[in-house]
Structure 1
């Protein structure tokens, strides 16, 4: 199963909360309370996101965190990369310099790269602003599974 790490998921939640009020400075404690993410985890994530430039850290009595750039210029891929590094489904799809022991006999490498590119581009296409609004790329709302695929009762 392909699965986003819990920290990357939490980071996206934090960034969405901050982006809802971009002009405000948010404290770590406030963000922990609003998101129900444990305070130590919030502190860790805020530091990583600030180090990567997605958040700006402000010191002083009225310090805290705010967006490092506009929500329209931050993609979901940016948030994931800040936490996990380059987006890669498999080691060979990351364009790694590490030698693969089965590369010469591997028929799947090109397709894994194609799949990886599609996933990366999809994550790059969704902005933090869209996450806040609950819209998908192109401006429409995401489909509701209960309406698109109604339960069939036997």
Structure 2
């Protein structure tokens, strides 16, 4: 089953909340209270997001966290990558994996096309998109399956 980790889900929730108040500083405590995510988890996620350059951490009594870029510039793919590493639906579609069966495998290229389609969709959705509640059908996204033998 394809599933993102809870921390990645929480990161998206935190970043989307921060995107709604773009430019404002938010304390970990405030973010914990408004999102109902436990404070230690919020702190852990913010540390990763700061390290990955998605949020700025400002120290001091008037410090907090704020988005490092405009919500329109931060993609869901980037958030996932920050917490989970590159999107790879199979090991052979990972840029860092070298498969023993690569020379004899006839479907590696197809997995690559599928993986690219997933990445393209994730890169097309930003925090600005995530701020809009889905009360109707989500926007249609064209996915190219060019490369698969059809």
Q: Determine if the TM-score, normalized by the shorter chain, exceeds 0.5.
A: yes
RMSD of aligned residue pairs (Cα, Å): 1.5
Give the equivalent residue in structure 2 for 1:28.
28
**3-state DSSP class of the match of 1:26?**
coil
Confirm or deny: 8 A CA contact 1:134 1:141 kept in the other structure: no
Aligned residues, how many? 138
TM-score normalised to structure 2 length: 0.86
Please give the alpha-carbon distance, in whole angstroms, between the structure 1 residues aligned to 2:65 and 2:92. 36
Query: Structure 2: 5+ residue runs without aligned partners?
Result: 140-150
Q: Compare the two structures and name the one with the higher helix fraction.
A: 1
Give the equivalent residue in structure 2 for 1:99.
98
Confirm or deny: 8 A CA contact 1:71 1:127 kept in the other structure: yes
Give the equivalent residue in structure 2 for 1:152.
none
Please give the alpha-carbon distance, in whole angstroms, between the structure 1 residues aligned to 2:73 and 2:61. 29
Would the alpha carbon gap of residues 78 and 99 (structure 1) be closer, same or farther in structure 2, given more than 3 Å must change?
Answer: closer
1:15-54 to structure 2, matched below 5 A, reads 15-54=15-54
Q: Structure 1 stretches (4+) deviating beyond 2 angstroms?
A: none
Please give the alpha-carbon distance, in whole angstroms, between the structure 1 residues aligned to 2:79 and 2:95. 20
1:105 to partner: Cα distance: 2.4
Please give the alpha-carbon distance, in whole angstroms, between the structure 1 residues aligned to 2:137 and 2:34. 24
1:100 to partner: Cα distance: 1.2
Question: For 1:28-77, what per-residue CA distance to the aligned partner results, in whole angstroms no more than 9, with x for missing partners?
Answer: 01111111111111101001001111101111111000000100100001
TM-score normalised to structure 1 length: 0.84
1:141 to partner: Cα distance: 5.4
**3-state DSSP class of the match of 1:105?**
coil
Please give the alpha-carbon distance, in whole angstroms, between the structure 1 residues aligned to 2:3 and 2:39. 24
